[in-house]
Amino acid sequence: MLRAIARGEIVVRRSARRKKTIAVSKEVDTFVLSAPIRYSVESNIRALTDLFNRLAARDHSSAADLVELAAELSQRYFSGRLRPASIRWVTNQNLSRWASTTTSTGDIRISHRLQAVPRWVLETVIVHELAHLQIGPHTKEFHALADRHPRQAEAKLFLDGFSAGERFSRGA
């Protein structure tokens, strides 16, 4: 694990405000360990290794996973006909945007914030963006296409709550 830290795959962020707890998250291709200033990574290497291994086991956030998932969802909901030219994680989406599609190029960008959500939520966002490859604006026809994922309404509620939690934690 220390080699992974040296390679930049794991970033340790120390905070004077954090007193006792640690947290692990994923930002694009980097794991982030948020820890109190006095927390010793070296002394806790075994527990941290277990923590990072558990996070990696449930991770669906690699670029290859995203491409594979888009292909799977295109096949499942659109008979394979809606395929993006590219799909990738980005860090520049604002708090009210989960993803975007450029219909003229077929490029889809997914907010890195979605790396923390359950797979079924990510699936609904990708299906929504795939639907934009056929219909750009949010018309009745568009929603009929995007709503092919059976948990679309449930995911909207999840993302509304997730977004509210993000705003709350940022003090907005």
Range of 49's domain?
2-57
Residue 4: pLDDT band with limits 50, 70, 90: low
Q: How many CB atoms lie within 10 A of CB 6?
A: 9
> Domain check: are 150 and 165 in the same one?
yes
> Domain check: are 67 and 53 in the same one?
no
> Domain check: are 121 and 88 in the same one?
yes
What are the pLDDT digits (tens) for 147-159?
A: 999 999 999 999 9
Of 37, 57, 77, the one marking the end of a domain is 57
Of 12, 39, 57, the one marking the end of a domain is 57
> Domain check: are 75 and 10 in the same one?
no
What does each C-alpha distance from 92 to 9, 36, 49, 98, 110 come to in angstroms? Answer: 20, 27, 30, 10, 10
Q: How many CB atoms lie within 10 A of CB 40?
A: 8
Mean pLDDT of the chain: 86
What are the pLDDT digits (tens) for 61-90?
A: 677 789 999 999 999 999 999 999 999 999
What are the pLDDT digits (tens) for 109-130?
A: 999 889 878 889 999 999 999 9
Of 15, 37, 57, the one marking the end of a domain is 57
Determine the pLDDT at residue 20. Answer: 85
> Domain check: are 118 and 44 in the same one?
no
> Domain check: are 87 and 152 in the same one?
yes
Determine the pLDDT at residue 5. Answer: 59
Mean pLDDT calculated for residue range 86-97: 88
> Domain check: are 10 and 87 in the same one?
no
Total structural domains within the chain? 2
> Domain check: are 127 and 147 in the same one?
yes
> Domain check: are 121 and 107 in the same one?
yes
Q: How many CB atoms lie within 10 A of CB 56?
A: 12
What are the pLDDT digits (tens) for 9-45?
A: 788 889 888 888 888 776 666 778 888 999 888 888 8
> Domain check: are 11 and 29 in the same one?
yes
Residue 2 pLDDT exceeds 70: no
Residue 59: pLDDT band with limits 50, 70, 90: low
**Do 57 and 22 touch, CB atoms closer than 8 A?**
no
> Domain check: are 152 and 83 in the same one?
yes
> Domain check: are 15 and 93 in the same one?
no
Residue 162: pLDDT band with limits 50, 70, 90: confident
Mean pLDDT calculated for residue range 162-168: 81
Q: Are strands 30-36 and 23-27 parallel, antiparallel or unpaired?
A: antiparallel
- Whichever domain contains 81, its CATH number is 3.30.2010.10
What are the pLDDT digits (tens) for 39-48?
A: 888 888 888 8
